[in-house]
């Protein structure tokens, strides 16, 4: 018998700052760049009632942890539920089980910020955000820890949503944060562009990207849905979170492949390879770069272990017991 820590969303909500998430996730991607195992998500669909079951995993040997994400969306409950099992990478023993809901925008935002840090110009000052939901908030909180932005523009189709978003962050950040009435206005002069939407079709015209811009796209990971158009992929140096995912469920890249504007050879590198220094990132001030972030076990395990350590220090969580298979399977 061994014990593990069960952590609710409330337990972990205030345990780590956006910067701490970014540091942990950056270290996770560096390990991936040096060979740590990770695979794209598996997705299972049901039509009646409609729903999706998703899982993915990674091992971070230097962190000393392994695990992943499993979540359901839809079905009869009509909602989403996130679970994160965490294991010791050396002994294999369970360390924790986390309700992954509250950490989701933080760990996903951290992955986006690592992409910005690795690929955007050092002097980037102007940020465009397409989207105004929880994931857009997570991206902005994390990304402002890696660049000193002075001007942030947000666009989403609903006026009230984008104005509320701008008002909230204009009070919280030193940058001037304002709502604009089109993606074109958001992209004008933007050094960094973040898309965090539920859109199934491209959310901006790739011709509107300024030379030297960086794009982080994180809102879609399905073969038939995309936030970026083929023009963006044709103009950009393309970096996915996992090379294998680019041809598995990265809708924007698959659409560009089908259109014949890119080939698989145009996958420049995985993010981890750039972070670890095993592949170059940006090579010129005018280069356009894209980080395609569909979600992996890398940021999940890195963030979960960060929260696990902080929870131990803070004395929060509930101990739960697990029986080793050698005992439970034999009944001894």
Instruction: Determine the pLDDT at residue 326.
Output: 84
pLDDT at position 228: 97
Per-residue pLDDT of 165-195, as tens digits, reads 999 999 999 999 999 999 999 999 999 999 9
Per DSSP, 267 falls in state B
CA distance 168 to 223: 34
Domain ranges of the chain: 2-104+297-328, 121-292
Sign, Cα dihedral of 277, 60, 193, 148: negative
Query: Exposed, middle or buried, 258 (CB in 10 Å: 0-12/13-18/19+)?
Result: exposed
Asked if 206 contacts 231 with a C-beta cutoff of 8 angstroms, the reply is: yes
Which homologous superfamily does the CATH classification assign to the domain defined by 2-104+297-328? ornithine cyclodeaminase, domain 1 (3.30.1780.10)
Q: How far apart are CA 42 and CA 327, in angstroms?
A: 31
One fold for both 2-104+297-328 and 121-292? Answer: no
pLDDT value of residue 325: 86
Cβ(112)–Cβ(21) under 8 Å? no
- DSSP H or E run through 234: helix 230-235
pTM of the full structure:
0.95
CA distance 74 to 156: 24
**Please, are residues 224 and 248 in contact by the beta-carbon 8 Å criterion?**
no
Fold that domain 121-292 belongs to in CATH = Rossmann fold (3.40.50)
CB-facing half-sphere around the CA of 5: CA atoms within 13 A: 23
The pLDDT value recorded for residue 332 is: 54
The per-residue pLDDT for 331 is 57
Give CB contacts under 8 A, 24+ apart, made by 67-70: 67/297, 67/300, 67/301, 67/304, 68/297, 68/300, 68/301, 69/100, 69/295, 69/297, 69/300
d(C-alpha 296, C-alpha 195), whole Å: 17
Question: 145: closest CA among 31, 12, 24, 294?
Answer: 24
Please say whether the beta carbons of 81 and 71 come within 8 A: yes
Q: Which residues of the chain have pLDDT under 50?
A: none
270 near 239, Cβ under 8 Å?
Answer: yes
């Amino acid at each position: 018998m061994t014990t593990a820590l069960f952590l609710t969303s409330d337990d972990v909500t205030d345990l780590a700052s956006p910067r701490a998430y970014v540091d942990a996730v950056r270290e996770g991607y560096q390990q991936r760049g040096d060979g740590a195992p990770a695979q794209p998500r598996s997705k299972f669909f049901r039509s009646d009632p409609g729903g999706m079951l998703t899982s993915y995993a990674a091992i971070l040997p230097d962190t000393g942890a392994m695990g992943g994400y499993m979540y359901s969306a839809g079905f009869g409950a009509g909602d989403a539920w996130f679970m994160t099992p965490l294991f010791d990478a050396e002994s294999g023993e369970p360390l924790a089980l986390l309700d992954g809901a509250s950490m989701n925008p933080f760990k996903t935002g951290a992955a986006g910020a690592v992409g910005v840090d690795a690929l955007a110009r050092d002097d980037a000052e102007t940020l465009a955000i397409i989207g105004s939901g929880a994931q857009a908030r997570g991206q902005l909180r994390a990304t402002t820890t890696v660049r000193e932005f002075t001007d942030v523009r947000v666009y989403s189709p609903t006026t009230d949503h984008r104005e509320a978003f701008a008002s909230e962050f204009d009070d919280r950040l030193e940058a001037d944060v304002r709502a604009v009435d089109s993606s074109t206005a958001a992209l004008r002069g933007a050094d960094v562009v973040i898309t965090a939407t539920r859109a199934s079709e491209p959310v901006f015209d790739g011709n509107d990207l300024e030379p030297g811009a960086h794009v982080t796209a994180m809102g879609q990971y399905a073969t038939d849905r995309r936030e970026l158009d083929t023009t963006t992929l044709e103009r950009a140096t393309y970096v996915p979170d996992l090379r294998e995912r680019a041809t598995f469920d990265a809708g924007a890249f698959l659409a560009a492949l089908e259109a014949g504007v890119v080939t698989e050879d145009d996958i420049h590198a995985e993010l981890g390879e750039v972070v670890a220094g095993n592949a170059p990132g940006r090579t010129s001030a005018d280069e356009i770069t894209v980080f395609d972030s569909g979600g992996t076990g890398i940021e999940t395990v890195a963030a979960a272990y960060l929260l696990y350590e902080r929870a131990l220090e803070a004395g929060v969580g509930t101990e739960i017991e697990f029986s080793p298979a050698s005992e439970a399977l034999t009944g001894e």
